Structure 1
């Protein structure tokens, strides 16, 4: 298990607050890279995967761009562009509401649901691999501390 100082190749002590922020940032990128590698064979990004899971969670009900944006993990994502790419791949559909032409409804397609069904066990395995060095109690504590950090 490499210490942050080894990763950063520094012998100088890092102040605890700085070390904590750097450690969280480094870990976040490491996790994202791991998930990106899992999704690469399926030709979708982390953000596109997030949109598909949000739409699957709607259980057949439509979502609009604002609904999706509100639930995105990465709030900086361009939701319109993500949805457009998923439409081109046949994974989602977009319809203009007949009663209110300004309202756009977005649905996951059967192909999108099948893709998620194929990816789910692989993502679960990757998540287990990412967290393999932590006990269940440590995972609970880590989640508690991360939530507390954001509050």
Structure 2
């Protein structure tokens, strides 16, 4: 198990608060690096995958760009651009609401659902491998502490 100081190649002790923040940031990037190859093999990005999962969670109900943006993991994502790319790939549809012409409704397509069904077991496997070094109790504690950190 490599300590953060070893990864950063420093002999200087890192203050605990800074070490914690750096460790979380480094771990987030490491996790993304573990899942990116899975998604790349399906020709989608982490952010596009996140949009598809959000739309699947709507269970056939429409979403608008703001709904999607509010639920995104990466709030800095350009949601319009992500949806446009998913439309080009046939995974998402965008329709004008018949009752309110100013409202745009976004739906996942059957192709989008089919893609997620193909990706899910691969992501499940990657997530299991990522968390394999932690027990169930450790995972619960980590989740509790990360939630507490953000509160």
| CA distance in 1: counterparts of 2:20 and 2:97, whole angstroms | 48
What residue number does 2:136 align with?
136
- Paired residue total: 151
Shift of 1:62: 0.6
Q: Secondary structure at the match of 1:50?
A: helix
Shift of 1:38: 1.1
What residue number does 1:127 align with?
127
What residue number does 1:77 align with?
77
What residue number does 2:24 align with?
24
Q: Which runs of 4+ in 1 moved over 3 A?
A: none
Structure 2, unaligned stretches of length 5 or more? none
Q: Secondary structure at the match of 2:41?
A: helix
The one-character-per-residue Cα deviations of 1:16-73 (angstroms, maximum 9, x if unpaired) are 1111111000000001111111100101000000000000001111111111111111
Structure 1, unaligned stretches of length 5 or more? none
| CA distance in 1: counterparts of 2:150 and 2:125, whole angstroms | 27
Q: Secondary structure at the match of 2:107?
A: strand
What residue number does 2:4 align with?
4
Report the TM-score when normalising by structure 2.
Answer: 0.98
| CA distance in 2: counterparts of 1:5 and 1:47, whole angstroms | 30
